[in-house]
Amino acid sequence: MHPLYIQNSLSRKKELFEPLNAPHVGMYVCGPTVYSNVHLGNVRTFLSFDVIYRYLEFIGYKVRYVRNITDVGHLVGDADEGEDKIGKIARLQKIEPMEVVQKYTNDFHDVMRVFNILSPSIEPTATGHIIEQISSIEKIMENGYAYEVNGSVYFSVRKFSEDYPYGELSGRKIDELMNNTRDLDGQSEKQDPLDFALWKKADDSHLMRWPSPWGIGFPGWHLECSVMSTKYLGEEFDIHGGGMDLKFPHHECEIAQNIGANKTPNPVKYWIHGNMLTVNGRKMAKSEGNGFTPEELITGNHKLLERGYSPMTVRFFMLMGHYASTLDFSNDALQAAEKGLTKLNNAVEALGKLQGASEDNNDIDIKALSDKCFAAMNDDFNTPILIASLFDGVKTINSAADGRIELGEGQIEDLKKLYSGFMIDVLGLVSEGSERAEGSEDLSSNLLDLLVELRADAKEKKDWSSADRIRNTLSEMGITIKDSKEGSSWSHE
């Protein structure tokens, strides 16, 4: 097994990855709250963890990957004082909350599929775990870290912090938090502004409601992640991921709840946080009005976009940056990524057609290239370095394809394995545009082969105008003809 190093948000250090129960790995990632369409910033986080998941599996771990759907409890506006986000949409549109949930869950799944982001092993929902959440609240109360007020239950941060550290993950100190907390107009039932809701009483206007020992109500936002991660991964598990913006308060509260319920001092061994996608240096967010949906990106139907970009181009663009760094969106960067990906794909295609010699070329070291690829990923999933290494190999492949150098049969096999492993299995970059119907595909490809033959005849007779006419007309249809010593080939974009 390769030694893998992960930047742990909790310790702020790069640490050797040692799972609690190798080869099994438990990984939990905070999923979306399904009250609106996901935007590209959301996609970036799920993509980052998709690659992490893929790589862990690639190097032999058996990963149980849990990514939740938040379908209740996430409130609008002020913490613990606003309306439920999903309930609000349901009220405004006069539909059932579960219709809202279904609609945006479907949208989320569609988007994940488009970007070739793998499904998690388990995708639990908050509403599916109300009973577990209630019993978790009871445990926290028994341990003395929560109190009931008027049908609602709150977590007592101050009480908790007497026994365990609070704020370690986000680097906050209780006293500083106290000083910086806004007044809540004296309307709050909370004993302390830092406290957060575990269970909220539902008044008659509330659409989402469940019975509990404290009356009719609904669970607080942070609770579901604590409960579902514990249920499916255990009281202590390996990796917890999510966007940087969830560090505080969400993840901090999660830790407090886990410890508060189970008294396990270290519920999560490695915390991983993905950084934000930015537009003109600012975080992409709905409130900024600078977010766009994957559909807008693909069609190019948005004022920030010069034109549309394919999902794999976007995927590649995002992987050219490291997950822990902010990544700035721009048309230029997308276009650069598009060209780069084409170059990579062309090389992989050329690799498939290479004829090997019986003896290896001693000037070329495939093993060294492979080692570089693994080393890149083992260093905190450094996809930009991995991609740079793959481009190094592109030169070798193209040189061989052009007949400038010769590779051994075994070397070609190793390269094929390397590229299918890292490009498809790890980076998830599949080729696009091959979804056309089988029958028409055969027909048009036969027709194209014929045209290429006719053009070869024309070239033979030095009838350049006919040859160029075929090439130019096809080019207008999006088909590119490439001439080489071995003959001509065509490709469709």
- Residues numbered 66 to 85 that lie near RNA (CB under 7 A) are 74-75, 77-79, 85
What minimum distance in Å lies between the beta carbon of 464 and RNA? 3
User: Which residue type, as a one-letter code, is found at position 425?
Assistant: D
2 or 391, CB closer to RNA?
391
459 binds RNA (CB under 7 A): yes
Question: x/- string (CB under 7 A) for RNA, residues 369-388?
Answer: ----------xx-x-xx-xx
Name residues whose C-beta falls within 8 Å of residue 402's C-beta, 6 or more positions apart in sequence: 484
- Residues numbered 397 to 456 that lie near RNA (CB under 7 A) are 398-399, 401-402, 404
CB atoms closer than 10 angstroms to residue 90? 20
179 or 358, CB closer to RNA?
179
Interface segment toward RNA; rule CB under 7 A; list 177-185, 212-220, 362-370, 444-452: 177-185
177 binds RNA (CB under 7 A): yes
Q: Which residue blocks in 82-123 are alpha helix, DSSP H?
A: 85-93, 97-114
394 binds RNA (CB under 7 A): yes
490: left (phi over 0), alpha (psi -120 to 50) or beta: beta
Interface segment toward RNA; rule CB under 7 A; list 119-127, 246-254, 257-265, 407-415: 246-254
How far, in whole angstroms, is CA 184 from its chain's centroid?
A: 36
158 binds RNA (CB under 7 A): no
What minimum distance in Å lies between the beta carbon of 5 and RNA? 10
Interacting residue with RNA among 32, 97, 124, 267 (CB under 7 A): 32
Distance CA 8, CA 43 (A): 22
Interacting residue with RNA among 247, 302, 416, 492 (CB under 7 A): 247
Nearest to 372 by CA among 356, 359, 391: 391
What minimum distance in Å lies between the beta carbon of 358 and RNA? 24
- Residues numbered 464 to 483 that lie near RNA (CB under 7 A) are 464, 467-468, 471, 480-483
- Residues numbered 298 to 327 that lie near RNA (CB under 7 A) are 320-322, 325-327
Nearest to 241 by CA among 45, 388, 429, 408: 45
- Residues numbered 118 to 147 that lie near RNA (CB under 7 A) are none
Interacting residue with RNA among 4, 10, 28, 42 (CB under 7 A): 42
User: Do 22 and 10 form a contact (C-beta atoms < 8 A)?
Assistant: no
Segment (H or E) for 141: helix 130-142
| Residue 48: both structure tokens together | 């980052």
What minimum distance in Å lies between the beta carbon of 61 and RNA? 22
330 binds RNA (CB under 7 A): yes
Q: Hunting for tokens 């509260």 — which residue is that?
A: 253
Q: Are strands 24-29 and 62-67 parallel, antiparallel or unpaired?
A: parallel
User: Do 192 and 157 form a contact (C-beta atoms < 8 A)?
Assistant: yes
Interacting residue with RNA among 371, 392, 449, 453 (CB under 7 A): 392
- Residues numbered 268 to 297 that lie near RNA (CB under 7 A) are 274-278, 281-287
Q: Which residue blocks in 320-408 are alpha helix, DSSP H?
A: 331-353, 366-378, 383-401
- Residues numbered 180 to 209 that lie near RNA (CB under 7 A) are 180-182
Q: Is 447 helix (H, G, I), strand (E, B) or coil?
A: helix
